[in-house]
Structures are given as C-alpha cells and as structure tokens.
Amino acid sequence: MTAQAELDKDFIKLDRKMKCGELPYCAKKALKQSDIVVIKDPSTCKCPVSKRYPSGTGVMTLRLEYDGRIYGVVNVTVPVNFITDKEEHDLFKEIAEDIGFALHDIEVEEKRKKAIEELWESEERYRAIFDRSIYCVFVYDFESKFIDANKAALDLFGYGKEEISSVTFSSLLEGDDLLRATKITEEIRKNGFQKKPSVFRVKKKDGNYVWLETEGSLIYKEGKPYAVQGIGKDITRDRALEEQREKARKEAEFYADLLAHDLGNINQVTLGYLYLLENAKDEKTRKKNINNILRSITKSSKLTESIKILKIIKSTETGKFNIKKSIKRSAEKIKDYFDRDIEINIDAEGEFYVIANEFLDRVFFNVLENSVEHTFYDPVIIDIRIEEKNGFCNVHIRDYGLGISSEKRKDILRNLETLSKRTGMGLYLAKKILERFGGNFDIKTMEKGVEIIVSLPTIDKNSGTHAQFMEDNS
C-alpha cells in the first residue's frame, strides 16, 4: 500500500517499483518483522526518495497489521538524535496500530457493504434457492427464535410453515448442543460467518432425533445485523454408518487381541507337549503327550469358531430350547475333550425350556472347560443344579478347583471385555451368547472352588413359539 505526500517524480518512481514488487530495503525488512526498522543513514537504502529526506534525519519503518493481517508499511523521518528514543518508538507503534485497525475496519466495512448489495440484488434468485434447495435452509434471530425455514427443513423437523414462529433452539436442541448453538450465534454475529461446520443432534416434533451438520452466516437489514441464515445437511445415515464402522473397527481390534492371547497360549502349550513327546521314555507317556497336542490343535480350531460365533450370534434365530439336554451334551463333550477323570453331577427334575439355540451348548462347554482347567487334581468334580425362579431358569455350576477372590470376581463381572484380552475369550463368548438370549451369568465365590450361575428367561414347555426348534433339541 502506498500513499503520496507531494513527492512528485521521486515518489512516482518509488510507487512504480513497489507495484512491480521491488521494495526498498527498509520495507522488505519491516514486512519480515514486527518491530521497528531503524535506519540512521537513509542514503544507504538506495531508495528513490531518500535524497528528499532532510539532513540529519533517519528513517523509522513499521509494518501495518491487524489481527494477523498485514496491510503494508508506514515510513517516517525522525531526527537522528531521537531515532532510538523509546517514547518516539512507542508513539510510532501506536500510530501504526491505529492505521492498521483503520485499514482493517475499512476492509471489513467494504466487505459488509458489498455483501448487502449482493444480497438485495439477488433476492429473487436467493428465494428460488431457498425454497427449492434439497438442504435445510432456515433463518433465526439473535434470540434463537426461527423466522423462516424452507420445505426441506420443515419436513425434516416435522413442523408446518405456520408453526415456524413458535420454534426456538430449545425446541430442537438439548444440553450441551443448546449451549453450543448459542455460542455459535454469537460468533456469527461478531464475525459475520461461522468459521467451521458444526454437528447437532436435533429433536424433531415427534420426539425422534436426527443429526444435522450446519453452518451459518449473518444477514443484514438496512445495513445492520438482522438475523442468521443457517444451512443444514441431514447426516443421520452417515452418522450411523460412521458409528457402525467405528464399532466394527473396535471389534476387529478386540478380536485380534483375543486371538493373539489365546493362540500364543495354545502355541506355547503345544511346544511344551512336543518337547515332552520328544523326551518321552515310554509308550504311555508318548501317547499322553500326543493326545495333549491333539487337544491343543482342537482348541485352536475352537478359537476360530469362537470368532465366527461372535460375528454371527446377533443375527441367529432363537426358539424353544431344552436347557437340560444342552447341559448333558456339553458335559459329554468335555469328558471327551480332556484326558482326565471328570465327574459331572446334574441335579434337575423334569425338563426346563428357555429361548435359545444351539450356541447355548457352547456357553456350558466354556464354563465347564473353565472349571476343569482350574482344578489341578483328579477326579475333577462338578456339580450342576437347575432351578426356576422369577421367570428365569438358573443353572448353578459348582466346581472345587482353584476358586477366585471376591476382588477378582468383581473385576471379571465389571471388566470382562478388557480382562478377556489377558485371560482368553471363554467367558466373554459365553456372556455375548447369553446376551443374545436375554440372559446373563454371575459368579459366586465359595470356600473351595467357584460357582457360576447361568440365567435365562424360561418358556412354557407347552409353548409352540418358534416351532422349527424340535422339542428335544437333539
């Protein structure tokens, strides 16, 4: 930026150079720093107007800026005796700040006037866009009351055109969103626009919610701030997909951690059995280690199957299921799975039916497997008792193994997902399957061993619900 002060041809020469980007030394330096550039001998600058400076004077140059924007430089001559005087510097800085602010104010005012002119010149075009836009367009005042809204907005929010004057921020927003919208309105009122889009959870007239991404700008009337125009895009579907993707990502990470833990344990155990097999001195010991290796391989296969169950369990069909027979099947599988002396006693009179499917067998298998693995002597004794109480079928599975402390019990029940990354997915899988059936499990500490209670909603054994499940579930 340049300003003439009757310096005739010398100034014109300087002006031309500056417009071509050829700045004198003092201006170049001033644009690169916020402090004053002091030159005691102007003749060293090779500036076209330096010869016009009075004898015995130096030059002070300072850039003009406001709110981070640079508008140019200001240059004054000062007697050399005062050129380093602090008061002179402070006065010069104050003048430069005032000029910078004034230039900023002029720029803002020009932009504002231009915006007003363009708004009124394009009123008809604006109205067409307003009415026909597929996006929500709405206007509200500084008291958060709506003045107008297009059809897209009215349809999304569920209000009629005649109701728009009764709609306020508090009709649509709740909690932190309401406070944030008020702050954004103040930002728009101050700056004339919204710096970045915002996302709100909007309550419709019928009580349902949608997600809206919005941005706003100031509307002027007769040269004064009048209201805010907002433009919103319905991102409810995008938001749901994003949440699904995030959930899937977290699940994938969780499954990867589980696999890493369980496969690591299986591989370590298998290597141990291989070493024992290699050093076995008799056929009985070799056979025992071979069986253990085969069981480790089976366990690895079950691990892959567990991940598959976790992925599909929510979409599986359920129906009338015989819980007693499910327990018996699981008990037989456990006995075949372990090369140990296992005694499982089932105390249950009659038949018990719940809403479930074949994955319930996996719940009991995992619980029984946990009991066997934490009992370090034979015979492994497990007592199972079934009872119906308050609409639930409760299966009490008691072992006499290592047991757990009260603190460990609380940790398992509160933080099973986190804990399973360290202990494996057996109980975590059981929990997820039971949740699909509307059930749950609890852990009871005992003086010796532990008791796990599996609870599932009961169903009348004469019920025909989901008849595709055969009554015996064989």
Give me the pLDDT at residue 474, please: 62
List, in order, residues 6 or more apart from 26 with CB less than 8 Å away: 37, 39, 45, 47, 59, 61, 73, 75
Structure token pair of residue 177? 């969103």
On whether both 349 and 220 belong to a single domain, the answer is: no
Could you report the per-residue pLDDT of 98-109, keeping only the tens digit for each?
998 998 999 888
- Domain of 334, CATH number, reads 3.30.565.10
On whether both 80 and 101 belong to a single domain, the answer is: yes
Question: Average pLDDT, whole number, for the chain?
Answer: 85
Whether the pLDDT of residue 393 is over 90: the answer is yes
Strand bridging mode 146-149 / 136-140: antiparallel
Out of 163-172, 184-193, 234-243, 249-258, pick the least confident.
249-258
Q: Token pair 């319930």 is at which residue?
A: 360
Give me the pLDDT at residue 1, please: 46
> What's the number of CA atoms in the CB half-sphere (13 Å) around residue 201?
9
| Domain contains 118 | no
Give residue 161's domain range: 124-234
- Domain of 37, CATH number, reads 3.30.450.40
Which whole number is the average pLDDT over 240-260? 79
For helices 416-423 and 426-436, give the axis angle rounded to 10 degrees.
140
On whether both 472 and 351 belong to a single domain, the answer is: yes
> Domain count of the chain?
4
| Domain contains 116 | no
**CB-based contacts of 342-346 (< 8 A; 24+ apart in sequence):** 342/372, 342/379, 342/380, 342/382, 343/379, 343/380, 343/381, 343/382, 344/368, 344/382, 344/384, 345/381, 345/382, 345/383, 345/384, 346/384, 346/386
Which whole number is the average pLDDT over 74-86? 88
Out of 89-93, 287-291, 433-437, pick the least confident.
287-291
On whether both 226 and 328 belong to a single domain, the answer is: no
Confidence of residue 421 (pLDDT cuts 50, 70, 90): very low
| Domain contains 114 | no
Q: Among 312, 334, 369, identify where a domain stops.
A: 312
Q: What is the dihedral of CA 342, 345, 350, 353, to 10 degrees?
A: -60
Out of 146-155, 332-341, 465-474, pick the least confident.
465-474
On whether both 327 and 468 belong to a single domain, the answer is: yes
On whether both 415 and 325 belong to a single domain, the answer is: yes
On whether both 48 and 183 belong to a single domain, the answer is: no
Residues found in the chain: 474
Out of 62-76, 217-231, 261-275, 393-407, pick the least confident.
261-275
Of all residues in the chain, the percent with pLDDT exceeding 90 is 42
Which whole number is the average pLDDT over 185-196? 93
On whether both 23 and 76 belong to a single domain, the answer is: yes
| Domain contains 2 | no
Locate all alpha helices (DSSP H) within 313-356, ordered by sequence.
323-337
Q: What is the pTM of this model?
A: 0.49
| Domain contains 3 | no
| Domain contains 142 | yes
Could you report the per-residue pLDDT of 33-49, keeping only the tens digit for each?
989 989 888 877 777 77
Whether the pLDDT of residue 407 is over 70: the answer is yes
How big is the CA angle at 148 (ends 144 and 152), to the nearest 5 degrees?
110
Out of 92-106, 216-230, 314-328, 405-419, pick the least confident.
405-419
Give me the pLDDT at residue 417, please: 58
- Domain of 163, CATH number, reads 3.30.450.20
Give me the pLDDT at residue 118, please: 74
On whether both 168 and 133 belong to a single domain, the answer is: yes
Q: Among 75, 108, 141, identify where a domain stops.
A: 108
Q: Among 266, 296, 312, identify where a domain stops.
A: 312
Residue 391 CA to its chain's centroid (Å): 39
- CA gap 338, 299 in Å, rounded: 11
Which whole number is the average pLDDT over 122-136? 79
Which whole number is the average pLDDT over 200-205? 95
On whether both 351 and 452 belong to a single domain, the answer is: yes
Give me the pLDDT at residue 324, please: 94
Give me the pLDDT at residue 27, please: 83
Out of 18-27, 88-97, 332-341, pick the least confident.
18-27
What would the DSSP string read from start to end of 102-121? HHHHHHHHHHHHHHHHHHHH
Percent helix, strand and coil across the chain, each to the nearest 5: 50, 25, 25
| Domain contains 115 | no
| Domain contains 275 | yes
- CA gap 354, 450 in Å, rounded: 24
Higher pLDDT: 300 or 157? It is 157
On whether both 332 and 471 belong to a single domain, the answer is: yes
Out of 109-123, 182-196, 367-381, 430-444, pick the least confident.
109-123
Could you report the per-residue pLDDT of 441-470, keeping only the tens digit for each?
999 988 899 999 999 999 865 655 444 444
On whether both 249 and 328 belong to a single domain, the answer is: no
